[in-house]
Structure 1
Amino acid sequence: MPKVKSAPKGKKITLTAAKNSIRITFDGRRRLDLSKMGIAVIPKCLLKLCDVEELDLSRNIIQKVPNWIQRFQNLRFLDLHSNQIEKLPESIGQLQNLLHLNVSNNKLTAKGVPMELCQLKNLRQLNLGLNAIDVLPNTIGALKELKEVGLFDNNFTTVPPSILKLPKLKKLNTKRNPILPTKEQLEAEQQEAIQRVANLYLVSEKNLCSPCVTKCQAERSKQNKLNNIVIPMLKKPLFTNVLTSNSIAKEIQDY
């Protein structure tokens, strides 16, 4: 019989310990900081503190976010990054006042991102980086207030169209995803390479100085490499209307 993998044993947090972890932010909000505590299971005693406006459970070993997270109706900031979460509960969509959601560096896949995220109408920042997501629900496009989205270090082969249509989007980080260039982009690169060659003049190598010979050899190598990549890819069907990785993005900070 195969050995069943046991859940990690984490530190138990008492209500008293949780109360002692509440801080007042510079703008007067109550912040419950339980980060880096070795927590494996979010304790139900936190329901006694569900009026907090910020909840930081990052850098623990949490595998599951309980459905009762919806009771935290005052939450504006929820940080769950760097845990072992595989799925977000549908009830997370009930956090109507949430402005910032960070679930980066977990074990989320496409199945772990619920359609109910679209109910977070006030969300400004969404960080899904460092997971294993390859597609997002189209309902993400309903988050009209989103300004920053982190999708870096996932498995996207295209930039989600619903994200690109967000009216207030200012930062989109898609770095280190296997995003394919469009046929139009490949053709443009090839045309640029052809134009560079057209502007060259043939001269005998013996009439060139050593640095010029080195530069010409580097250009020839670059051209050959481009032809080996571009020409075969032009013969294959590619995704259309796709932006290249990080084409409209800068690295977004942890928040």
Structure 2
Amino acid sequence: MAVGKKKASKVKITLKMAKSSLRLTADGKRRLDLSKRGIDTFPKCILKLADVEELDLSRNRLRKIPESIERFVNLRWLDLHSNQIEQLPDAIGKLQNLRHLNLCDNRLARVPPEIGDLRDLRSLNLGMNLMESVPSAVAGLTELQELGLFDNKLTQLPAGVTDLPNLSKVNTKRNPVTRRDGTDPARLAERLYLLNENGMCATCLKKCQEEREKLYPRGSADRPIRRPYFSGLSTPNSVAWETQVVWRMKTPGQSKQR
């Protein structure tokens, strides 16, 4: 055998392994965590655990999510970030109870318009993909509060997206995007999803402070009020989110003791 790179062996998830990865959240929901397992194919065996409310398949090597994802009808939280997903099935729209969907850091050039059927969705992270457009159906997600579109190839947002009634955080950074009225969404300070200062290097922090002074000079009536920072709050695809998962998880045994 020639000396060189060894071919990566495929990781097979068995039903026994999946069952051992079940946890109970602080509010009594069942969560299946198969993150960081090196999985490159959606494990069919987990369809036997399709009654879980939370599913974490992040940080793997998945390229495709099958239509059978529709069997997870109880899902309220689905994390698929940091994979190699190139295609999302139309069946994603059948997850009517879904509230949080993280698709950040994949290879998606598009998402199906059926994503607009997720009427209960609160947060949607599509950042760090290859998308040139967003389905107009996203403008119908009236419960949406957080939307991540950063690091894509978007040139325009669908009409009505930034006017969603409950939307409070939008990140369109590093896109050649402008609004239909010609303004840059990055200048909509109250709608912009920002990284906290504690997560920035000194150089970037100084640059941001300088830009802020240009936009809102000291003493300006339009200068936004600085809000307090509360450590540990989650942000899309961040370490804080991962930290939050740690403290909110309890094993079934621990739950019974309390």
TM-score above 0.5, yes or no: yes
Whether the 8 Å contact between 1:93 and 1:117 is mirrored in structure 2 is yes
Match of 1:53 in 2: 53
Contact preservation (8 Å) 1:159, 1:242: no
1:179 maps to a residue whose letter is: V
Q: Is the 8 A contact 1:129 1:151 kept in 2?
A: yes
The residue aligned with 1:243 is 184
Distance 1:66 1:9, change over 3 A: farther
Give the direction of change, closer, same or farther, for the CA distance of 1:40–1:245 in structure 2 (3 Å limit): same
TM-fit CA distance, 1:162? 3.3
1:156 is aligned to 154
Look up the equivalent residue of 2:83 and give its one-letter code.
Answer: N
Aligned to 1:27: 27
- SS of 1:245's equivalent in the other structure is helix
- Give CA deviations for 1:96-117 in whole Å, capped at 9, x if unaligned: 000000000000013xx00100
**Cα distance per residue 1:208-244 (max 9 Å; x no partner):** xxxxxxxxxxxxxxxxxxxxxxxxxxxxxxx644433
Q: 1:192-211 residue pairs with structure 2 within 5 A?
A: none
Distance 1:139 1:250 in 2: 21
2:175 aligns to what?
Answer: 177
Q: Which runs of 5+ in 1 are unaligned?
A: 1-7, 183-238
Change (3 A) 1:245 1:84: same
Change beyond 3 A, Cα 1:153–1:246 = farther
How many angstroms does 1:9 deviate by? Answer: 5.4
How many residues in Structure 1 have an aligned counterpart in Structure 2? 190
Larger CA deviation: 45-54 vs 242-251: 242-251
Cα distance in 2 for partners of 1:165, 1:244 equals 12
Residue in 2 that maps onto 1:5: none
**Partners of 1:245 and 1:9 in 2: CA distance:** 44
Structure 1 residue 43, shift from structure 2 partner: 1.2
What corresponds to 2:204 in structure 1? Answer: none
Q: Are 1:35 and 1:58, in contact at CA under 8 Å, matched by a contact in 2?
A: yes
Q: Structure 2: which 5+ runs fail to align?
A: 1-7, 195-234, 242-258
Q: Is the 8 A contact 1:63 1:84 kept in 2?
A: yes
Residue pair 2:58, 2:82 contacting (<8 A) in 1 also? yes
- In structure 2, relative to structure 1, the CA distance for the partners of 1:249 and 1:25 (3 Å cut) is same
Q: Is the 8 A contact 2:148 2:236 kept in 1?
A: no
Residue from 111, 130, 154 that aligns with 1:132: 130
Query: How does the TM-score come out when normalised to structure 1?
Result: 0.70
Question: For residue 219 of structure 2, what is the aligned residue in structure 1?
Answer: none
> Partner of 1:23: helix, strand, or coil?
strand
1:163 and 1:135 mapped to 2: Cα distance? 12
Q: What CA distance in whole angstroms lies between the structure 1 residues aligned with 2:82 and 2:193?
A: 21
Q: Secondary structure at the match of 1:161?
A: coil
Give, as a single letter, the amino acid of the residue that structure 1 aligns with 2:86: E
Post-superposition CA distance 1:109-160 (Å, at most 9, x none): 13xx001001101000000000011111111111110000000111112333
TM-score, length basis structure 2:
0.70
Distance of 1:174 and 1:9 partners within structure 2: 38
8 Å CA contact 1:50–1:72 kept in 2: the answer is yes
- Percent identity reads 52
Within 5 Å, which residues of 2 pair with 1:219-230?
none
- Shift of the 83–30 alpha-carbon distance from structure 1 to 2, 3 Å rule, reads same
Give the aligned partner of residue 41 of structure 2: 41
Letter in 1 for 2:152: N
